[in-house]
Amino acid sequence: MSIPVSEAHAASYRAREVPAAAQVVDGVWAVPVPLHGSALRAVTVFLIETRAGLVLVDAGYDHPSCWASFRRSLTAIGHRVEAISTVLITHNHPDHVGFADQVRTVSGARVLMGAADDFAAMHRVRGAFLDQLGTALDLTGAPRDVVDGMYADAVKVAEHHERLQLDAALPAGDTGLDFGDVTIRAVHTPGHTYGHTVYYDTRGVVFTGDTMMAEGPTQLAIVSRPGDDPAGDLLRSLDRIRDLGATIACPAHQYPYRDVAGRAEELTAFHQAEVDRVRTLAGPGDTAWDVARRMPWKKPWDELGRGTRRFSLIHTLALLRASGQGGAGARLP
């Protein structure tokens, strides 16, 4: 179980409330941004004070309420948008890229993200988000009416403009970023997306995006190409985060916590067990559709909501790839 940096922040999360902005450690601020109309309730962006200007990690939704809330929170902690010099984005989901361009317009900040999550590159290699989802649903082996229904449901809720242009795309691997008195390492950690990047402030704080929450599992990336193996990617990424030496993790949702290595090992065990379970459940020729309906979800398959079934089916496809039953294998015994 993760050890909260602030019990008050953790209590707010569990009470389904959005806490006020607060200092995590000297020079690092957690700034929760409410996500109106979203089941996620909030995304936490982080502000790092450096001699080279403020560094912002992630940028909420592209919605006027998010932008207004963010600006109010910065004023409350004694900072201004105009002082932001760099925006570091962990991955290209809409609750993370949203107002990055607005920050750049106001402050002239540079916007950076992992190369594989750069929208222009992603569109060339994988297509847009809905294209990837359509391909993945086809790969699951689900009946055509199920695939069509799940895709139609996704179209109704998809708000992913996918037009942000980067000032620099960070390569896979480990890239050092110097901000005067603060050094941040950008570490490629695919699994949740293919270009997901965590940012390690060498003073001991790692900004984990959606790869390593304080509670619960990690949502796996969409499988849409022959070599995709997000579960295997995630297991390797968790090892990478574990070995950074960070003392505090700052995820984009929930709350900052301590014992980063312990949490990485806990998540590794959970997701490895999922892969092993799928290997046991999958028979010769079985599809993700066959296996998903046998998996032990929180409710029986037929009692899951349609959206939950879609997520569970896509998740099973990724696990099937990692199990060796459906494509490239992961780090398995």
97-144 pLDDT tens trace = 999 999 999 999 999 999 999 999 999 999 999 999 999 999 999 999
Q: Is the pLDDT of residue 273 over 50?
A: yes
Record the pTM.
Answer: 0.94
Return the C-alpha torsion angle 15, 16, 20, 22, nearest 10: 70
Give exposure, 10-27, as e/b (b: 16+ Cβ within 10 Å). bebbeeeebbebbebeee
**What's the total number of domains in the chain?**
1
Q: In this structure, what token pair is assigned to residue 200?
A: 């390690």
Instruction: Choose between 215 and 161: higher pLDDT.
Output: 215
Q: In this structure, what token pair is assigned to residue 178?
A: 């110097």
Q: How many angstroms separate the CA atoms of 69 and 102, rounded?
A: 13
**CATH code, 107:** 3.60.15.10
Q: What is the pLDDT of residues 191-243, one digit of tens each?
A: 999 999 999 999 999 999 999 999 999 999 999 999 999 999 999 999 999 99
Domain coverage including residue 127: 3-132+164-275
Q: Is residue 156 part of a domain?
A: no
Q: Is residue 144 part of a domain?
A: no
Q: State how far the alpha carbon of 215 is from the alpha carbons of 167, 207, 218, 314, in Å.
A: 33, 15, 9, 21
Q: How many angstroms separate the CA atoms of 182 and 72, rounded?
A: 26
Q: What is the β-pairing status of strands 197-201 and 248-251?
A: unpaired
How big is the CA angle at 10 (ends 236 and 244), to the nearest 5 degrees?
A: 30
Question: What 3 state SS string does 124-172 have?
Answer: HHCCCHHHHHHHHHHHCCCCHHHHHHHHHHHHHHCCCCCCCCCCEEECC
* Model pLDDT, residue 144: 97
* Model pLDDT, residue 290: 97
* Rounded average pLDDT over 179-191: 97
Q: Which residues sit opposite 44 in a β-bridge?
A: 32
* Model pLDDT, residue 326: 52
* Rounded average pLDDT over 76-87: 97
Q: Is residue 280 part of a domain?
A: no
Average predicted confidence (pLDDT) for the chain: 93
* Model pLDDT, residue 248: 98
Q: Is the pLDDT of residue 1 over 70?
A: no
Q: Are the beta carbons of 195 and 118 closer than 8 angstroms?
A: yes
Q: What is the pLDDT of residues 24-73, one digit of tens each?
A: 999 999 999 988 766 678 899 999 999 999 999 999 999 899 999 999 99
pLDDT bracket for residue 328 (50, 70, 90): very low
Q: Is residue 326 part of a domain?
A: no
Q: Is the pLDDT of residue 330 over 50?
A: no
Give exposure, 248-284, as e/b (b: 16+ Cβ within 10 Å). bbbbbbbbbbebbbebbeebbeebbebbebbbebbee
Q: Is residue 317 part of a domain?
A: no
Q: Is residue 118 part of a domain?
A: yes
The alpha carbon dihedral of 208, 210, 216, 221 has a sign of negative
Distant-in-sequence, close-in-space partners of 175: CB < 8 Å, separation ≥ 6 = 185, 186
Q: Is residue 199 part of a domain?
A: yes
Q: Is residue 174 part of a domain?
A: yes
Compute the 3-state secondary structure of the chain and give helix, strand, coil in percent, each to the nearest 5: 40, 20, 40
The side-by-side arrangement of strands in the sheet containing 174-179 is 3-4, 257-258, 248-251, 205-209, 197-201, 182-188, 174-179
Residue type at 293?
Answer: R
pLDDT bracket for residue 325 (50, 70, 90): low
